[in-house]
Amino acid sequence: MTDRRASRLLLPALFALALAALLQHFLGALAWAGLLAVITWPAHVHLQRRGWPRSASAACLVGLLILGFVGPSIVLLDTLGGELASVQRLLARANETGLPVPAWFARLPMVAEHAIQWWNEHLALPGGLNRLVGSAAGDFAPHLTGAARLWGSTILANALYLFLALLTLFVLYLHGPAAIRHVDTAGMRALPRQYPMLRRVFPLSVRGTALGLVSVAILEGCVLGAAYAIAGAPAPALLGVLTGYMALVPGGAPLSFSLVSLLLLGQGHSGAALGLFCWGAFELFLVDKFIRPKLIGRRVNLPFLAVLFGLLGGVSTLGVIGLFVGPFMMAILFEWLRGGDSYNTAFNTNSASDADASRRADETNPAPAGQRNNTN
């Protein structure tokens, strides 16, 4: 019986591998669309219960997602536009009059004389900054052209993937029940004993990860925004909002407070810059090592270390999407370790963790498999 079932699954497995190879460049977009659909599906169902048509609910949720991620980018570009205009005026004034040699150049050990001479020859004369920038641009022009071509193709490819992900998400909102039925049928046919457990754990794990990421991003945005204000950084509220959005991506929060620390250091506030950097590193350690794993593991009853290693392993192996894959795989592991595959047909997707624990305790008594199925 086992050999016959394995032979029946061989052809579908080979077809799935061939399909994955065919769509290998678009698997990321499809995966993100599926994850976003699972995360926001309760909101989609809630809007439909309030009388919204399925298409209107789908359009509203997709529009909110676009606004949530594009809105801060527009604000950032507008702010940077004003700052760049100020920098351009400052550089133009410095090019007209020349830049005087900084006083601290004279205190440089061993190289003070050569540094002052170079500065006087290239930057202290009127128009010297323009000549220096022109010569440097000519030297780096071939490298800049290649980098611009690479960046342009990367940006266009990511824009295409984003469009495909949002389009797939909209279609999933419209035809989600049919897609779920097809997936359930295929899952029960391929893994009749394990699929109910996988179906129960997957949405809990994905939504728990999303809850942890969003909660931590809001927390880091508020805490670091307050730290920016105390340190005297310009526009601390805007920087706090941008830090919160950056915290959704691994490495985004440390990059944010490091750049603000460098900004304060460039303005001459070395003490505030050092204090902000140390506080950001301490806060990041607490959040990443304790708070985030606790929030994510609570939904699927995972221990702290399992969530921590799931997050670290997923990010290091798969990138951002590994934040969801790692905890999900750890959740599957612990369900199997707890004996979940022996009673997965009895799981109710809405049951509480206490009910699951009592059911596991009851099923530790030795009993025939048929008797256990009948009692459930």
Domain ranges across the chain: 27-190, 193-351
Tokens representing 287 are 């959040």
What does the alpha-carbon distance between residue 64 and residue 76 come to, in Å, rounded to a whole number? 18
Tens of pLDDT along 193-207?
889 989 999 999 999
348: left (phi over 0), alpha (psi -120 to 50) or beta: beta
Q: What is the pTM of this model?
A: 0.69
* pLDDT score of 247 more than 50: yes
pLDDT at residue 374 in the model:
41
Of 72-81, 237-246, 297-306, minimum mean pLDDT range: 72-81
Under 8 Å CB-to-CB from 371, ≥6 apart: which residues?
Answer: none
* Nearest residue to 353 (alpha-carbon basis) of 229, 219, 168, 201: 201
What does the alpha-carbon distance between residue 35 and residue 12 come to, in Å, rounded to a whole number? 24
Q: Virtual CA dihedral for 110, 114, 119, 124, nearest 10 degrees?
A: 110
* pLDDT score of 332 more than 70: yes
Find which of 68-82, 260-274, 348-362 is predicted with most confidence, using mean pLDDT: 260-274
Tens of pLDDT along 54-68?
999 999 999 999 888
Residue 103: band (very low, low, confident or very high) from pLDDT cuts 50, 70, 90: confident
Tokens representing 135 are 């010569």
Tokens representing 347 are 């799981």
* Nearest residue to 198 (alpha-carbon basis) of 332, 63, 91: 332
Residue 138: band (very low, low, confident or very high) from pLDDT cuts 50, 70, 90: low
* pLDDT score of 365 more than 60: no
